Amino acid sequence: MHSSPDSAVRPKVALVTGASRGIGLATARLLAGRGYRVVISARGEEGLAEAADQLRPFAPGLCHCAADATDPAAVARLMGLIQQRCGRLDVLINNAGGSHHGRPLDAMSPEDWELTLRQNLTAASLACRAALPFLKVQGGAIVNVASLAGRQRSLVAACDYAAAKAGLIGFTRQLALELAPWQIRVNAIAPGLTGTERVDGRWQDLPEDERRSRLAAIPMGRAGRPSEIAEAISFLASDAASYITGATLDVNGGAFMG
């Protein structure tokens, strides 16, 4: 981990979980470019180190720390390192999550269900809890990365993933109410189909007519780019959204218009 250069005004510190690729990596890159001191975390050490190598040339003071977002002890160690190396935390981006299968409920094991909820919902709650000693000092922002699957029926997600992301949206709304007296804003984004590495692999396995059908369900006729999702996250994390809390921002090309 590296120290940022001295300056009259200390940069805000942003932690991005699940930042080794996809939306998390794009968000870390964007925030670094906008003057934040960025801390990135992910479970896999090798992927995280590769992401750090990509970011370091234009992310002064970049810190990276491998941590399993579902492990309370690992999250506590991560926050301890942030305290030691950065001394503050202003923005928390809960991006860790994902879907590890696509099975229907009757083919899903209880372990499948529990893992999906831990990765997508419990992980966010652990990070929020651990970040509060920082955020209650000076206020700040939390952005939780939910999904279109948490807003409406999904043609691609299994019910455990949809339940976890819907739960994350409810968690966001209620936590925003709890933390508003400390001037801590809590919001979520709900991306639709996005061209991340994980999604692209599955996309290429679909028959051509299925791909056409899924794109036809999106009024803008295409998948989103990770950089576009990162822009929405950056907005909610920024002072430009200083009077927005408890909201879920849909970023899906019009696939869901709530």
Enumerate the active-site residues: 161
> How far from the centroid of its chain's Cα atoms is residue 151's Cα?
16
Closest CA to 95 of 258, 226, 243, 246: 226
Rg (CA), the chain: 18
160: Cα separation from own chain's centroid: 18
CA distance 190 to 165: 9
Q: Which residues pair with 190 in a beta bridge?
A: 250
* Strands annotated E in 18-122: 37-42, 63-66, 91-94
